[in-house]
Amino acid sequence: MTLIGFMKDFNYYLNTIGEIGYVEQTTNAIIYASGLPGVKPRELVLFENGEVGQVLSVSYNLIEILVFTRDPPKAGEKVVRTNEFLNIPVGPELLGSVIDSLGNSLEDLPIQRKPMLSTRSVTASPTGILTRKTITKQLETGVSIVDLLLPLGYGQKELIIGDRKTGKTNFLFQSVLTQAKLGNICIYAAIGKKKVDIKVLKEFFQKHNILKNIVIVASGSQDPTGLIYLTPYSAMAISEYFRDEGRDVLLILDDLSTHAKFYREISLLGKRFPGRNSYPGDIFYIHAILLERAGNFTTSKGEKAITCLPVVETIQGDLSGYIQTNLMSMTDGHLYFDIDLFAKGRRPPINPFLSVTRVGRQTQSNIKREISREILSFLTLFEKMQNFTHFGAELNETTKISLSVGEAITRFFDQQPSTSIPINVQIVLFCLLWNNAKQSGSPNNEPDLAWIIKVYEANKDIRKMIDTMVQKATSFNELLGTVKQKGDELLTSINKSKYDN
């Protein structure tokens, strides 16, 4: 059942509410109507032709209405109040489906396997402080550089920022893949995307058999502006539903710079005063009220989180853009996808020095924090050393070793777009690399990563061996020692299972 399915007909509202209005002026997504004396902002209105609109603002003699159709009603058409606010039908039936921001299926098949009887307010206000909890659990993304260096927590809002075509979407795919495999719900809001991109999105999830844990809320670039504007709000409403059903949710908002552009279009058509870069004055508010709905919450079904990863595009690596800085100030950090690192072949090209995670570190165990610190300080040193090489200086042996270890760590963080590495595997592999590097200075003996992941997921004994190694260690040095002792045995077991197969 769609939003329209939940609504009554025009005459019902006309006779029960007893108020009528007339379309006076239409400008693409915005309509101005007279009448309807009791209408409230954000209320839904219904046009004579069956189209639905949402009241944006109310002035002395005209009402500003946002419509969700490409063919807006004509001047003179009747409009009625509904006394209802924008709700989206929700239910477990949504899992595995691709819907628009009003809950209509975008696929040929109907999404509903049984009727969905509950609805959620699309534009609900964020809940208060009393419902919120400190972020304490680490969220696994399956991407080594993030999980080890820039950890995220359940309920964190982490901005994904970078130029176009720098692998942001690949990172999001990896995160969704990891979270969906862990049994969490993932909501992917594709805002103003090309239809082919939406299809690719679905096919990727389908290919990895995780679609049953995913809802894609999508709007195409050709869709009505009103629908595109609503997309992240609808996705958030669906996330809230699953959170209240006792599930941890990962919400991807791809991307908010497009959303801001469409909201700017609506505002300019609505004759709002343009501000910086012609964005309206409330552009901060419309994003803040959305992102504030994410977090770690106390629910009737325990502590549940909506982790939000909003995406924003930069132009030529400029982090100081208006929307970009707005979003940085609303989120708990950002992962910066550096175009220069991308050009150097780093995948994902996340710049650990320009990225920030504000609440993620508090979720790490001591040992993970130690590893993170160790890597970061080494990488800082590595960066400095690399600068020396630019001058063509003759390098001593220690510097050469450090440089080769640095390169090995950089390679270690390189990851195929669709691979998700379990965090304990990341730690053990890093320890192997670190031991090897410290011992011989030649960390080139790199194990077959894809095979290790496969074995870890399939073989219980090896999984237990790796997990125990990480869990029992009380410090990084102790873990290094354990890995030194048992590392060869572990690799032999992994290789053995490779040859057995």
Partner 1 sequence: MTYYDILRNIKTVDEVNRLVSEIDILLDSLFKADTNAFEKALNSISVVTSQALKDTFLKNNANLGNYAMIKDLLIKLKEELQKFKVLKLSLAFEVSEGSIDNLFAWVLTNLGSGIILDIKEDKKIIGGAIIEFEGKYKDLTLKKKLEEVFGSKREEILTQMSS
Nearest distance from C-beta of residue 23 to partner 1, angstroms: 13
Nearest distance from C-beta of residue 36 to partner 1, angstroms: 5
Question: Using the rule CB under 8 A, is 379 a contact of partner 1?
Answer: no
Nearest distance from C-beta of residue 19 to partner 1, angstroms: 5
Q: Which stretch binds partner 1 (CB under 8 A): 11-19, 148-156, 341-349, 465-473?
A: 11-19
- The smaller minimum CB distance to partner 1, of residues 36 and 312, is found at 36
Upper half-sphere CA count for residue 72 (Cβ side, 13 Å): 23
Write down the catalytic residue from 42, 132, 358, 361. Answer: 358
Nearest distance from C-beta of residue 233 to partner 1, angstroms: 28
Alpha-carbon gap, residue 414 to 401, rounded angstroms: 20
Choose among 72, 118, 122: nearest CA to 101.
Answer: 122
- The smaller minimum CB distance to partner 1, of residues 18 and 274, is found at 18
- The smaller minimum CB distance to partner 1, of residues 15 and 118, is found at 15
Nearest distance from C-beta of residue 76 to partner 1, angstroms: 13
Question: Using the rule CB under 8 A, is 59 a contact of partner 1?
Answer: no
- The smaller minimum CB distance to partner 1, of residues 35 and 155, is found at 35
Alpha-carbon gap, residue 432 to 447, rounded angstroms: 10
Alpha-carbon gap, residue 173 to 201, rounded angstroms: 8
Question: Using the rule CB under 8 A, is 18 a contact of partner 1?
Answer: yes
* Residues binding partner 1: number (CB under 8 A): 11
- Asked if residues 39 and 20 have their Cβ atoms less than 8 Å apart, the reply is no
Nearest distance from C-beta of residue 80 to partner 1, angstroms: 8
Question: Using the rule CB under 8 A, is 14 a contact of partner 1?
Answer: yes
Alpha-carbon gap, residue 214 to 490, rounded angstroms: 35
Residues 6+ apart with CB under 8 A from 499: none
Q: What is the DSSP code string of 305-337?
A: EEEEEEEEEESTT-TT-HHHHHHHHHSSEEEEE
Backbone angles phi, psi at 222, to 5 degrees: -90, -5
- The smaller minimum CB distance to partner 1, of residues 38 and 417, is found at 38
Touching partner 1, residues 38-57 (CB under 8 A): 38
Q: Which two tokens stand for residue 301?
A: 């079904």
Alpha-carbon gap, residue 390 to 115, rounded angstroms: 66
Task: Report CA-CA distances (Å) from 64 to 30, 40, 250, 483.
Answer: 7, 11, 34, 66
- The smaller minimum CB distance to partner 1, of residues 80 and 215, is found at 80
- The smaller minimum CB distance to partner 1, of residues 58 and 286, is found at 58
Question: Using the rule CB under 8 A, is 58 a contact of partner 1?
Answer: no
Touching partner 1, residues 312-351 (CB under 8 A): none
**Given candidates 10, 19, 272, 424, which one binds partner 1 under the rule CB under 8 A?**
19
Residue with tokens 């290789």: 495
Q: Which two tokens stand for residue 476?
A: 């990084």
Angle at 137 between CA 128 and CA 294, to 5 degrees: 35
**Given candidates 2, 3, 21, 338, which one binds partner 1 under the rule CB under 8 A?**
21
Alpha-carbon gap, residue 290 to 232, rounded angstroms: 8
Nearest distance from C-beta of residue 77 to partner 1, angstroms: 14
Q: Which stretch binds partner 1 (CB under 8 A): 28-36, 192-200, 306-314, 355-363?
A: 28-36
Residues 6+ apart with CB under 8 A from 224: 29, 67, 68, 69, 70
Is residue 120 among the annotated active site residues?
no
Peptide bond connecting 461 to the previous residue in cis, omega within 30 degrees of 0: no
**Given candidates 31, 36, 186, 408, which one binds partner 1 under the rule CB under 8 A?**
36
Residues 6+ apart with CB under 8 A from 397: none
Nearest distance from C-beta of residue 33 to partner 1, angstroms: 10
Question: Using the rule CB under 8 A, is 73 a contact of partner 1?
Answer: no
Question: Using the rule CB under 8 A, is 15 a contact of partner 1?
Answer: yes
**Given candidates 20, 62, 200, 491, which one binds partner 1 under the rule CB under 8 A?**
20
Alpha-carbon gap, residue 35 to 156, rounded angstroms: 45
How many CB atoms lie under 10 A from the CB of residue 69? 17
**Given candidates 9, 12, 37, 222, which one binds partner 1 under the rule CB under 8 A?**
37
Binding positions for partner 1, rule: CB under 8 A: 14-15, 18-21, 34-38
- Positions marked active-site: 358
